[in-house]
Amino acid sequence: MSDDLWEYTLQPQDEGKTFQEILKRKFHFSTKLIQQLKKGEFVWVDGEFTFLSATGQSGQTLRIKLVAPEEATIPGEQLPLDILFEDDYFLAVNKPAGQVVHPTPRYPSGTIGNAVVGYLASKGDTRPFRPINRLDRNTSGVIVIAKNRFAHQQLAWQQERGQIKKVYLGVVSGVLSQDHGEIREPIRLVPGSFIQR
């Protein structure tokens, strides 16, 4: 399957349901994405254009064009990019400490976003940078990037329901009195800073 087509074979339990209902209830397509699909010929059943209000039969193949032509909203740069995983829907990269995830007025270039847009552009792809998570500048770790609106909203849906787990590892120096434990104390801002805690 290419990265701009999503495909599903209707099951017996889908009989009598509209395609919109199947997409929304079974696959958690967002209302916004469904509205975008209604603006053109983006939905087909067995190769024939269909409306989302139509119903299908078990065994039919529902195909959806997920990606309307899009342009990146930040400039791409040819920067080193440590790619850990890539498929038609996601890109996972290893962010080094010291690099910002998304351009800001203070860091307008040299970010993971610039690197990803540059990497995709080198493959003839102009899609926007859609990170699923962010890390602070001085934190290293995995950044997951959605390659289309559908992938982005699917992971956002999972994140809202606690189905995505993030684990942080901290490095400390000195001699610790215990080799394991739990710190349960309030966290507050460092006086004079709006970032450090």
* Amino acid residing at 98: G
Closest CA to 5 of 65, 58, 56, 52: 65
Closest CA to 30 of 129, 128, 122, 157: 157
Sign of the Cα torsion 60, 63, 64, 68 reads: negative
d(CA 46, CA 50): 10
Catalytic-labelled residue, pool 87, 125, 136, 179: 136
d(CA 197, CA 190): 5
To the query of whether residue 136 is one of the catalytic residues in this protein, the response is yes
d(CA 69, CA 56): 28
Sign of the Cα torsion 66, 28, 56, 36 reads: negative
The Cα-based distances of 65 to 3, 23, 27 in angstroms read 9, 13, 15
Could you give the residue numbers annotated as active site? 136
